[in-house]
Structure 1
Amino acid sequence: MNRQTNEERNFINSLARGLSILEVFDLANPKMGISDLSRRTGLSKSTVFRLVHTLRTLGYIIPVGEKNKYTLGPKVLTLGFAVLSSLELRELAHPYLMELSREVKETVNLAVLDGWRLIYVERIKTHQIVNINLHVGSRLELYNTAMGRVLAAFQDENWLSTYLSYLKTLPEANEYWKDNGKKLYKIMEEVRKNNFAINNEELTPGLRSVAAPVRNREGHIVGAVNIAVSSSLYSLPKLKQDLISPLRKTTQAISETLGYESPKKGIK
């Protein structure tokens, strides 16, 4: 009996074929038709036609002036820019995160927005805080995490409204989206006012954290840094007193490295 391995069973042929269409466009062949794509990928014309239709609908391929020719659409750039942006941020932030972790002797994390969730792009771990397995690449919800709240709070009203609709699909988030999102909006308002967010054991018992935003040259929030601690060692007042200042110093330094200029006090 021919038994498939887990790797073989998990391989999605249609996805691989779609990606193969994108991969064959290059500097020498920026515009191609169905026949060209079929020849270069080895796929049948009917298969290529369906894949091109799907990719065109999604915006990854667009038609060009020449009859029945296609080229890569601007949306393809978003894939590369997202990766380059997070990798650049991680590389630039790493020494500052290391310094912060050494200073406070606690675990420090960096995350970026990933759809309606966050994704860890760096983690400086000192010791096991609580029984929760987090690592670079881990994804968490936004509403009940300090970094997630920072990443969500500075989005525009349309984004927040759509995010609230997403939350309604999560039964465990009921208290945040009920009453038209009263609790969620209150949290977001506090984050914008204070320029930091706190998770008071809302993600998991025994874990507290405080997070602050990282801004780019234009002042947009491109990431969040948090300090995660055991609630048995840090009361809420102690967390605020001991950790907010060094955290802010770190996120300000990272932001300035990205070209952000902090508003000067006293200048109107």
Structure 2
Amino acid sequence: MTRNTLRAESGVRYLSDEQRADPLFTNSIARAMQVLAAFHHADRPLSLAEIASRAGVDRSAAQRIVHTLRSLGYIRRDDEDRGFLPGIRLLDHTLDFLRLNPLIQRATPVLLELRRNVRERVDLSLFDGQRVVYAARMQSKRETFYATLVGHSVPTFCSSGGWAIMARLPEPEAREIIEASDRTPFTPRTLTDPDAIITEIGETRARGYSIAVEQILLGEVAIGVAVTGPQGRPVAAIHVAGSLAEWTPEDFSTRVAPLALEAARAISQI
């Protein structure tokens, strides 16, 4: 089985009884966010019943929440009136996250210079447990619509950035991420065996960067380098991706890895 689309995190984030019992926790806000998250895996406009099912709320609650969010501009009817879609006001919050994030501010000029030097796709992804989320994407000459969008994510267990990040974690923590992940392969070459992934992480740790060949996309080779925060813990990764039609993994590593390592050092807080 293979996967060829990259999506946001699944809609409903399950909370512990302790979290829900917190007197500061507001259930109505949580339900509203679950309604917005219902669109994460959607391929088309959603009906009210579909939103209720995906959000884990009853139809009456979904109707009230959708009406409120629609009034505020966070949900809209699609142009052919077939259902509901996210509204334009959500982009205001995306902009806030990107412009106020100090890591992204610090990384952007460094990534632009790296892109000019390597002339291949350069991405910055943020570490979020079992996934890494693209926060900056600088494209090459070979791109698809999905490869241009921030907010997409790939699993930590099989991505070049994920391997680079896990190489900076204690091995028990890395193994916990791997074993908790849905390890459905993206390609026939995607590593899914935990021990094989741990071995790859060890090699990444030894050389300082990862080399992922056709782990997410067929025909792609990617270099990953971790970006660290003030305590030396990995918070993000730089990915540089090229085509196997133009590069061997060895030549790509020789050309790209030193530049990616230099960029990561410039962005990291040491």
TM tier, smaller: 0.5 to 0.7
- Note closer, same or farther for the CA distance 1:159–1:253 as it changes in structure 2 (3 Å cut): same
Residue of structure 1 in register with 2:200 after alignment: 187
Distance 1:158 1:183 in 2: 15
- Note closer, same or farther for the CA distance 1:88–1:185 as it changes in structure 2 (3 Å cut): same
Runs of 5+ in structure 2 lacking a partner? 1-10, 12-25, 33-96
For residue 211 of structure 1, give the secondary structure of its aligned residue in structure 2: strand
**Cα offsets for 1:31-50 (capped at 9, x unmatched):** xxxxxxxxxxxxxxxxxxxx
1:18 correspondence with 2:32? no
For the Cα contact (< 8 Å) 1:111–1:223, is it kept in 2? yes
Residue of structure 1 in register with 2:216 after alignment: 203
Residue of structure 1 in register with 2:241 after alignment: 228
Q: Which amino acid aligns with 1:88?
A: P
CA-CA distance at 1:86 after TM superposition: 8.4
**Cα offsets for 1:148-175 (capped at 9, x unmatched):** 11122222233223223223x4343898
**Cα offsets for 1:171-195 (capped at 9, x unmatched):** 43898454xx220110111111111
Residue of structure 1 in register with 2:101 after alignment: 87
1:239 correspondence with 2:252? yes
Q: Which has the larger radius of gyration?
A: 1
For residue 205 of structure 1, give the secondary structure of its aligned residue in structure 2: coil
For residue 172 of structure 1, give the secondary structure of its aligned residue in structure 2: coil
Distance 1:237 1:170 in 2: 27
For the Cα contact (< 8 Å) 1:112–1:224, is it kept in 2? yes
Distance 1:104 1:138 in 2: 23
Q: How many residues align?
A: 181
Residue of structure 2 in register with 1:135 after alignment: 149
Q: Percent identity?
A: 20
Residue of structure 1 in register with 2:68 after alignment: none
- Note closer, same or farther for the CA distance 1:104–1:189 as it changes in structure 2 (3 Å cut): same
Distance 1:207 1:166 in 2: 26
For the Cα contact (< 8 Å) 1:195–1:212, is it kept in 2? yes
Distance 1:157 1:229 in 2: 29
Runs of 5+ in structure 1 lacking a partner? 1-9, 22-82, 261-268
Q: 1:55-94 residue pairs with structure 2 within 5 A?
A: 87-94=101-108
Is the helix fraction higher in 1 or 2?
1
Residue of structure 1 in register with 2:129 after alignment: 115
CA-CA distance at 1:133 after TM superposition: 3.5
Distance 2:216 2:252 in 1: 16
CA-CA distance at 1:209 after TM superposition: 1.0
Residue of structure 2 in register with 1:212 after alignment: 225
Q: 1:246-257 residue pairs with structure 2 within 5 A?
A: 246-255=259-268
Given the two structures, how large is their TM-score scaled by the length of structure 2?
Answer: 0.59
Distance 1:111 1:86 in 2: 16
For residue 133 of structure 1, give the secondary structure of its aligned residue in structure 2: helix
Distance 1:199 1:164 in 2: 16
CA-CA distance at 1:91 after TM superposition: 1.0
1:124 correspondence with 2:138? yes
Distance 2:234 2:221 in 1: 22
For residue 163 of structure 2, give the secondary structure of its aligned residue in structure 1: helix
RMSD: 3.1
State which of 178, 203, 207 in structure 2 corresponds to 1:164: 178
